[in-house]
Structure 1
Amino acid sequence: MANLESWIIEQGFKGSTVGALLSGCAERLHGEGIPLLRAYIALPTVNPAFRVYNHVWTRRDGILVQGVAHERNDGAFEASPFGAMLRSGLTEAHWRLDDADPQPFEAFGDVRREGGTDYLARLISFENETAPDLRGIAVSFSSDRAGGFLPADVARIDAVLPLLGLAAYRITLLNLAVDMLDTYVGLSAGRRVLSGEIRRGSGTTLTAALFFADLRGFTALADTAGMDLIARLDRHLEAMVEPVAEQGGEVLKFMGDGILAAFPITAERTRQEACAAAIRATQSALQRNAAVNRLRDGETSLDLDIALHCGDVFYGNIGAAGRLDFTVIGPAVNETSRMEALCQPLGCSIVMSESVASVSPVPVRSLGRHRLRGLAAERELFTLSFSGAPALSP
């Protein structure tokens, strides 16, 4: 087997990136004597942020990867050479670009400006019913030789394309699994699942500063509002989630109109540092949530209540044999939730336990001792000593 074919198979087994796969393949084809100027792969994906990834390799600049957002006009594909091929039922096409005639596609102008003389296009279908959105890939190659690729060049490219497509498909499926797990169960949980933590009851004990946030008044509003409330809820949740991520925390759970997040305490991050990060995230979330309310002037305001606490939680697989959830449970979680329920009665947007307040980098004041539901002993609770506290420096 030729060196290039062996290399492509190795990349597919090793789980390389599609960008590395394309650039390595293009460079090796050029090394074989094929005057390759440009190579391109477009891969659809199932991702909340992007609908397709474009990979472009050029001999001068190397690889460039660009995610195309869902909001981008689908007409761009329809007006491309690949859209024309689909409409004509073609999977192969080869256009010469080194003549003076006007070119039918905008993409050809880009290739000609780079010095390209032709455009070899191929469509490779995946046809997997379990992943219908991964319909296949679009591939193109361009030469800078006068007259374009020779028939032997085209034959060589076509000979490696099935392997290239198979390796790209394998890499894409793995990326899809990672993206979906990261999106729906969280970065840490997703990587734990992929690493084999999948048995019911398996997990780990996590010591962390816990962040429990909830929108006040959302339930009553949801009883009367229409579907547009979902879009508004997304904005409020964004106001909570983004500060958590910015301060090195992770959202462990969405709970309707609220979230549970954690700032792990590790050998690299002390309790004081984790609590400070949680407080910074809290201040930022309150400010951003207020900004969302201002954008909805004239509508019912949805204020944010946040409870902060420190403790140990169990983080792992819980559920039935055929339906598991990688979630977090434990007395510290319950205590944080019950602290949040006291925000409104106490007239505070922030309630924190002594374990957080004792290492707070900003002044706090006591709210007195209070009984939390299900706990025998009263707990002293705290809040920031001034309202509208400015965001702390990291």
Structure 2
Amino acid sequence: MANLENWIIEQGLRGADVGSLLSGFAERLVTDGMPLVRVYLALPTVNPTIRVYTHVWTRSAGLMVEGVSHERNELAFDRSPFAYMMQTEQTSCHWHVDDPKDRQFDVFDDVRREGGTDYLARLFSFENTSAPDLRGIGISLSSSRPVGLQAEEIARIDALLPLLGLAAYRMTLFDLTVAMLDTYVGLSAGRRVLSGEIRRGFGTTVTAALLFADLRGFTSLADTAGMDLIARLDQHLEAMADPVAEQGGEVLKFMGDGVLAAFPITEERSRESACAAAIQAARTALERNDAVNRLRAGETPLSLDIALHCGDVFYGNIGAAGRLDFTVIGPAVNEVSRMEALCSGLDCSVVLSDSVASVSPVPVRSLGRHRLRGIAAERELFTFTTSGD
């Protein structure tokens, strides 16, 4: 077992994911002669959509990982062995799934289907006040032996599980860090922070197609609407943000009722391709925003204004020593925001600069030359051609 202990420690130091940790642990126990047919590990997480990740290894099918949403099947946990253990303040239990004298749970049906006869359950508490929602882990093991796991096998398992729990905790904290960075600062920015680009003023100049979107009329509506407005705003922002991700762009900032997104130009993605992606994202966002308004029939509709521009931006850490923001700044960002402000006066939903319009894969028409606030020279602006043009 020393080899297995060393392997768990190695995984804790360098391992990539809990699923590989669990399946490797189970398979090594089987190799050592333990007749396991099912091993289960549940880890709570801090995620806007996922409440807990479940990892199930079975001898017949290998590993399966599932993220359980906050809304889905909430009563299932209440009927589980782990809920019972928490209610009765127990951290270790051992049931025989066919013994009428033992308490029965729905999950025992899954154990029987795998040829299991018992259910050894353990709870480990993390008790980290800085991450209170990461309360701990639940793990269960089932064997195919008619009398279940033997005392010496349970002793082996109990000696190994603290190591396994510690390794899983380290991986979970790292996954949590990545997920939170992806959620709150964006995929690309999150990876840059994790790679060490954390010094104030550190960054790089990139060329990108920029998309700036804003809801027309939201400010006045916010003055009179109640808390339901937040749920509605989420729907509109999702209509703007999802098309950006689908086209390979990144939302850099949510600004109240607006979105700033970028489609970087790289060796793999030409300016034409980046601008085409931004245009497609804009068209899809308009369609989905209209769909949100239809779902909210009877409420004041909120139109979407979008500006598209292409240029150089500074992408990096900006802010105070104790509070940094990984975002883009520069003349191109200022210009695209000033362009969006003209949508209402020009009576159109989308305004494109010449840098985007010149490579547009869809027909465009000129809106004439206009002066943008804070910019000396006039700019020729464009919009999409409609069937009536």
TM-score for both structures, normalised by structure 1? 0.97
Q: Is 1:268 matched up with 2:271?
A: no
State the shift of 1:75 in Å. 2.5
Counterpart CA distance in 1 for 2:206 and 2:158 is 52
Match of residue 345 from structure 1 = 345
Aligned residues: 389
Match of residue 131 from structure 2 = 131
Could you tell me which amino acid in structure 1 is paired with residue 149 of structure 2? F
Identity %: 74
Match of residue 198 from structure 2 = 198
Matches within 5 A, 1:130-209: 130-209=130-209
Matches within 5 A, 1:174-323: 174-323=174-323
Q: 1:165 to 1:301 in 2, by over 3 A?
A: same
State the shift of 1:387 in Å. 6.3
SS of the aligned residue for 2:107 comes to: helix
Structure 1 stretches lacking a partner, 5+ long: 390-394
State the shift of 1:388 in Å. 10
* Cα RMSD for the two superposed structures: 1.4
SS of the aligned residue for 2:170 comes to: helix
Q: Is 1:92 matched up with 2:92?
A: yes
Tell me, yes or no, if the aligned pair for 1:318 and 1:326 is still in contact at 8 Å.
yes
Could you tell me which amino acid in structure 2 is paired with residue 310 of structure 1? C
Counterpart CA distance in 2 for 1:370 and 1:329 is 23
Match of residue 14 from structure 1 = 14
Counterpart CA distance in 2 for 1:370 and 1:334 is 15
Match of residue 386 from structure 2 = 386
Tell me, yes or no, if the aligned pair for 1:19 and 1:65 is still in contact at 8 Å.
yes
Counterpart CA distance in 2 for 1:119 and 1:55 is 16
Match of residue 335 from structure 1 = 335
Tell me, yes or no, if the aligned pair for 1:364 and 1:385 is still in contact at 8 Å.
yes
Deviations 1:197-223 (A, max 9, x none): 111000111210000000000000000
Could you tell me which amino acid in structure 1 is paired with residue 249 of structure 2? G
SS of the aligned residue for 1:106 comes to: coil
Counterpart CA distance in 1 for 2:73 and 2:135 is 19
Q: 1:388 to 1:17 in 2, by over 3 A?
A: farther
Matches within 5 A, 1:358-373: 358-373=358-373
Q: 1:130 to 1:387 in 2, by over 3 A?
A: farther
Deviations 1:240-270 (A, max 9, x none): 0111110110001111001000011000010
State the shift of 1:360 in Å. 0.4
Deviations 1:277-305 (A, max 9, x none): 11111110000000100111111110000
SS of the aligned residue for 1:369 comes to: strand
Counterpart CA distance in 2 for 1:270 and 1:387 is 29
Tell me, yes or no, if the aligned pair for 1:357 and 1:382 is still in contact at 8 Å.
yes
State the shift of 1:159 in Å. 1.1
Could you tell me which amino acid in structure 2 is paired with residue 347 of structure 1? D
SS of the aligned residue for 2:146 comes to: coil
Tell me, yes or no, if the aligned pair for 2:95 and 2:103 is still in contact at 8 Å.
no
Counterpart CA distance in 2 for 1:248 and 1:178 is 19
Q: 1:246 to 1:350 in 2, by over 3 A?
A: same
Counterpart CA distance in 2 for 1:156 and 1:388 is 77
Counterpart CA distance in 2 for 1:266 and 1:167 is 38
Could you tell me which amino acid in structure 2 is paired with residue 116 of structure 1? G
TM-score for both structures, normalised by structure 2? 0.98
Deviations 1:217-239 (A, max 9, x none): 00000000001000000000000
Q: 1:29 to 1:179 in 2, by over 3 A?
A: same
State the shift of 1:102 in Å. 8.2
Counterpart CA distance in 2 for 1:388 and 1:98 is 74
Tell me, yes or no, if the aligned pair for 1:103 and 1:109 is still in contact at 8 Å.
no
Counterpart CA distance in 2 for 1:388 and 1:269 is 33
Deviations 1:134-176 (A, max 9, x none): 0100000000111111111111111110100000000000001
Counterpart CA distance in 1 for 2:310 and 2:33 is 63
Counterpart CA distance in 2 for 1:270 and 1:120 is 57
Q: 1:222 to 1:258 in 2, by over 3 A?
A: same
Tell me, yes or no, if the aligned pair for 2:92 and 2:123 is still in contact at 8 Å.
yes
Counterpart CA distance in 1 for 2:295 and 2:247 is 25
Tell me, yes or no, if the aligned pair for 2:314 and 2:330 is still in contact at 8 Å.
yes
Tell me, yes or no, if the aligned pair for 2:213 and 2:306 is still in contact at 8 Å.
yes
Q: Is 1:52 matched up with 2:52?
A: yes
Tell me, yes or no, if the aligned pair for 2:15 and 2:21 is still in contact at 8 Å.
no
Counterpart CA distance in 1 for 2:87 and 2:53 is 22
Could you tell me which amino acid in structure 2 is paired with residue 173 of structure 1? L
Counterpart CA distance in 1 for 2:84 and 2:100 is 21
Counterpart CA distance in 2 for 1:196 and 1:5 is 32
State the shift of 1:101 in Å. 6.4
